Amino acid sequence: VAVKLADYSPYPFEIEQVDLAFDLDPDATKVSATLKISRKPGGGTAALVLDGEALDLKSIHLDGRLLGPEDYALTEKALTLPDVPDAFELKTIVEISPAKNTALSGLYISGGRFCTQCESVGFRRITFYPDRPDVMSRFFVTLTADKAACPIMLSNGTPGDVQDAGNGRHTITWDDPHKKPSYLFALCAGDYDVYRDTFTTMSGREIALAVHVDKGDAPRAAWAMDSLKRSMKWDEDTYGREYDLGVFNIVAVRDFNFGAMENKGLNVFNSAYVLADEDSATDADFEAIESIVGHEYFHNWTGNRITCRDWFQLCLKEGLTVFRDQNFSADMRSRPVQRIKDVIRLRGRQFAEDAGPLAHPVRPDTYGSIDNLYTATVYEKGAEVIGMLRRIIGPEAYRKGMDLYFERHDGQAVTIEDFYACFADVTGRDFTQFRRWYSQAGTPQVTVAESWNADAGELTIQLSQSTPPTPGQKDKLPVPIPLELALLDGTGGTDAWTVVLDQPEMTLTRKATGARPLLSVNRDFSAPIRVERDLTRDQRIALVVAETDPFNQWDGVQTLVTEEILKLSEGSQAQPDDQLVDAVASAVRKAAGDPAFAALLTRLPEVGELFLERSPAEPVALHSARKRLQAALSRALSDTITTTLAAPSPTPYEPSAEQAGIRALRAAFITLLGASGAPDAGDTLLALYNAAPNMTERLAAMRALTALGTCQARDTALADFEQRWKHNAIVMDKWFAVQAGQGTAATVAELAAHPDFDLKNPNRVRSVAGVFASANLAAFHAPDGSGYKAVEDIILKADAANPALAARLLTAFEQWRRLEPKARAAAEATLKRLQNAKLSENSADIVSRALG
């Protein structure tokens, strides 16, 4: 049953106030909900329909009168009261079992503590309520729990005093003064270690900040706290947005389906994105924590104060908030390096999604299962669209439009149209065509051709765009594509300008002062497109050398190595071209002054990206070609690698961007060293593993050892790592992931049989099945179907307990139509088998869309 954007209609009632009382017990929690309800003016005589799922209804009172079964209708999904007055109070009492909730949606237990996840539709698993984002209300929440088990009881807003409740229990009421939809409700209760600090806002108010973690983990929350304070300051400085409550709480939860959740004043995090210290975390972990803490904090204004009218508008809060967190990270670190990393992520996940059967617009107009719409397209492409908006209208107009948006829509649940009306009002522009970016799926392709008129000293540039068909959208219209262009004279001279390609075709001419210039296109990745240019390899190398935009320097190298790998993949023995390898090696050496950037230059595109360039795609051949190029690059850089690794790693350790850059290059060189094919690589890597003074380098060495395949050095490192970290689940996830990312189907089966493999823990399941299916494509797409079988086994078990988790894993099958015939047949057979298995709604939705 598909939901359609066109079918939206407002809720006929207002919920003026909600009083929730929780009598917390792992097996049987009693939830009393008192709703002050009034019919909206013109609300007619509509029945009151409340969402509710898996609730054990105990009683309903309307204005104090106990209702009987003749007064209402109760189904699996809803409670309907056909005949209600215009204004009334409704009190329901239900019982739920947090301990039995394995779906991790609604109220559940993790690590022995109570927590909730309500977005999008988890609140209906807690109590009967209009569980939709456009119903906003004032919440009062009373929590009662066992004093010993739950010394700390948290919810949204402002806490009242803790009072004794008898029988060893105590009680507290939280009052959230800001109206909110139910998906932003949260409660957490249990025994935590708390890392506390304060933040003084721009108007001088002092906010009490606290990060709640497992017993003994408080010191590992320091970085998350530091990131939170920097986020609060950044939103004041960059968007003029101040925090609006006296307290801000973060709770780390071990079993969590996603990264984190922006509940008002009570952000709940997957513990992997809270806990970090020098010994146990990589620089990438520190970076991810900073970015996700920022993301959830920024939602306070873009998501909470102003929320979405319906779930079709998800990108209104997610795309915008990702754009905000990306800029926060860019300001904390290096802007060009951040841009490159954002594009790697976009191309790796979103471009693939946009090119397969799961493709959908940034704002979809229909969905089967809302959980499956938290996609790379909504988040990452959604962020790119905001970036294009800002580029087209300029930073000042962007800020003015945002200010107007905050002023006009504070406290409301709105749409993409409302958002763009603010920018139309401050600029006088019409965004009708621009909004096609929200309704049209698929990655636009821009073809660039050029011709030089020596007599006139003029370069003519012909641009054309087209977007491939996607499911349900055969014909595409042109979108406005902001293209940053430049003419480069080869000695650093740069004549840069921006055009908006809003027609199917456009011809530009540009005067140049001297000899024929080189043309730089889509600088800084100004639009999320694929650029097609008919250039020879020599021309591409010349362009990389002349390039003055760091993003395009990197991207030029990516294009060169991509073309080389694709060529190599056509012959199993073909060897990389020396001239190409030398060009890449010299670009890496030249970038030594910016090690984070140099590290990115050593990166070869993943099989998942290479895939998109080939149909049919042969993952095994692509993987082997990639390895050959990596080995050649390793040999070409061998002296630089030896010298760099002989120098000590920076001490004392700091998670700073500067040190992280140095370690990133060291880790990249460790990877290359392992790829060299040298007979003593195992011993060298084991020595590096043993000597590594931080997790970034230790993990790089362990990964490189694992890539060698079965050998003594690899086994020694893996055993040592397990011994050292077996009591730290987050670190052990890396141990599982490293092996799943390199091994075969047999490795996956072995890891799934490990005593520490836990089907109930999403991080652990993803570190095995998720990593295997998304980062080890040669093995996942093995022509004999063994990779599919290994993942299918895990998915079937996971789905019974946790549909959201299983459905996410299933998306790995989205590329099946592109595969060489054997793998393709095996993938299709697997999907058909899954289609006939009794899957959850979430998983069935992915399978049926994947089959198309």
Interface residues toward Zn ion, by CB under 5 A: 318, 321
Which residues sit opposite 497 in a β-bridge?
485
How many angstroms separate the CA atoms of 74 and 80, rounded?
Answer: 6
For residue 384, give every residue at least 6 positions away whose Cβ sits within 8 Å of its Cβ, in sequence order, or none: 319, 346, 527, 528
Using CA atoms, how far apart are residues 243 and 254, in angstroms rounded to an integer? 27
Backbone angles phi, psi at 173, to 5 degrees: -115, 130
How many Å apart are CA 838 and CA 815, to the nearest integer?
A: 23
Q: Under 8 Å CB-to-CB from 219, ≥6 apart: which residues?
A: 195, 277
Q: Which is nearer to Zn ion, 53 or 318 (CB)?
A: 318
Of the pair 318, 524, the CB lying nearest Zn ion is at 318
CB of 806 to Zn ion, least distance (A): 22
State in angstroms the smallest separation of the CB of 657 from Zn ion: 23
Residues 187, 154: Cα–Cα separation, whole Å: 5
Identify whether the C-beta of residue 721 lies closer than 8 Å to the C-beta of residue 707.
no
Q: Which two tokens stand for residue 68?
A: 């009987």
Instruction: Provide the minimum distance between the beta carbon of 294 and Zn ion in the complex, in angstroms, as a whole number.
Output: 11
The smaller minimum CB distance to Zn ion, of residues 373 and 782, is found at: 373
What's the min distance (Å) between Cβ of 321 and Zn ion? 5
Of 292, 389, 283, nearest to 337 by C-alpha is 283
Quote the CA–CA distance of 399 and 405 in Å, as a whole number: 10
Residues 480 and 501 sit within 8 Å (Cβ to Cβ): yes
Say which residues have a Cβ less than 8 Å from residue 395's Cβ, sequence separation at least 6. none
Q: How far is the CB of 497 from Zn ion (least distance, A)?
A: 34
Q: Which is nearer to Zn ion, 109 or 320 (CB)?
A: 320
Q: What is the smallest separation between the CB atom of 306 and Zn ion, expressed in angstroms?
A: 14
Find the shortest distance in angstroms from Cβ 456 to Zn ion: 51
Active site residue 296: yes
Q: Using the minimum distance from each CB to Zn ion, give the nearer residue, 299 or 703.
A: 299
**Inter-residue contact 159 to 200 (CB < 8 Å):** no
The pair phi, psi for residue 12, each rounded to 5°, is -75, -5
Q: Which of 290, 296, 353, 484 is catalytic?
A: 296
Quick one: 204 exposed, middle or buried, by C-beta within 10 A (0-12, 13-18, 19+)? exposed
CB closer to Zn ion out of 318 and 549: 318
Q: DSSP of 733-802, one letter per residue?
A: HHHHHHHHTTS-HHHHHHHHTSTT--TT-HHHHIIIIIHHHHH-HHHHT-TTSHHHHHHHHHHHHHHHH-
d(CA 226, CA 534): 48
| Token pair 């009052």 in the structure block, residue | 175
C-beta of 231 vs 321, nearer to Zn ion: 321
Q: Following DSSP, what letter does each residue of 361-377 receive, concatenated?
A: -SS-SEES-GGGG--HI
User: Between residues 318 and 564, which has the closer beta carbon with respect to Zn ion?
Assistant: 318
In the complex, minimum distance from the CB of residue 369 to Zn ion, in angstroms, rounded to a whole number: 19
Q: Round to the nearest angstrom and report the end-to-end CA distance of the chain.
A: 16
Q: Is 688 helix (H, G, I), strand (E, B) or coil?
A: helix
Q: How far is the CB of 295 from Zn ion (least distance, A)?
A: 6
Collapsing DSSP states into helix, strand and coil, what is residue 812?
helix
Residue closer to Zn ion (CB basis): 252 or 850: 252
> Which residue from 100, 105, 188, 101 is spatially nearest to 150, judged by alpha carbons?
188
Q: Which residue, 151 or 259, has its beta carbon nearer to Zn ion?
A: 259
Nearest distance, CB of residue 762 and Zn ion, angstroms: 17
Provide the annotated active-site residues: 296
